[in-house]
Structure 1
Amino acid sequence: MKLLLDECIDRKFARELADYEVKTVPQMGWAGVKNGQLLAFAEAEFDVFITVDLNLSFQQNLSQFDIAIIVLKATSNRLADLQPLAPEVLASLATIAKGQATVVGA
């Protein structure tokens, strides 16, 4: 399973997901690409897109994209705030569905 971390997530968060192939939006050369186009790019190469953008499911029709979305809900996008969510992210990977957003965290 291939995971893509949004550009607003610290790349070091990938270490928490070590059993998976993880890339970041900047590593893919997609920094600054808007969400709709970003999801279109991502669905061609990744299974899951991980973001902290709580509004993504309201801004985009996720069912049109062949990629699952995990939204991290934390007090900030700092690594220290996101790391505690890693076990829940890993657990959700077994049940997530493409074209839907799963919210992980408080």
Structure 2
Amino acid sequence: MKLLLDENLPKRLKPDFPGHEIFTVRDQNWNGIKNGELLKLLIDTNFDVLLTFDKNLQYQQNFLKYTITVFVLSAHINSYEELAKLSPLVKKYLDENSLPVGAVVIQLN
């Protein structure tokens, strides 16, 4: 699958998802692009998933319009050490046959 790490996530997360094509916003030269436009770009360039730390994204975008999976990583801070704890939960979704459309909040219970 083709994954994009939003600019609010550490690029050190890339190796946490072996077997997938994973890019950062910086890799794509998409820095500063607003969420709605970013979601359109993701669809137009055949990305499957956006990973973000932006907890408001799920309320700001109409996911009937943007048919893509967005994993909202929910932690106290966006450090690699905290977010890496969520990687196994994301991997479970990636291993399923079909991804949910829209925002999925990923957090430790």
TM-score (norm 1): 0.93
After TM superposition, give the deviation of residue 57 of structure 1 in Å: 1.1
Secondary structure of the residue that 1:65 maps to in structure 2?
coil
User: Where does structure 1 differ by over 4 angstroms across 4 or more consecutive aligned residues?
Assistant: none
The normalised TM-score by structure 2 is: 0.91
SS state at 1:84 partner: helix
Give the AA of the match of 1:55. N
Once the two structures are superposed, the pairs formed by residues 5-84 of structure 1 within 5 Å of their partners are 5-45=5-45, 46-84=47-85
Residue 4 (str. 1) matches residue 4 (str. 2): yes
2:103 alignment counterpart? 101
What is the alpha-carbon root mean square deviation over aligned residues? Answer: 1.1
Q: Can you give the 5+ residue segments of structure 2 that lack an aligned partner in the other structure?
A: none
- Worse-matched range after superposition: 61-70 or 6-15: 61-70
Identity value in percent: 37
Q: CA deviation at 1:42?
A: 1.0
Distance (Å, rounded) in 1 between the aligned partners of 2:37 and 2:17 = 25
Distance 2:55 2:43 in 1: 19
SS state of the match for residue 81, structure 2?
helix
Rounded Cα–Cα distance in structure 2 between residues aligned with 1:63 and 1:29: 26
Structure 1, unmatched stretches of 5+, are none
Do 1:96 and 1:102's aligned partners in 2 also have CA atoms closer than 8 Å?
no
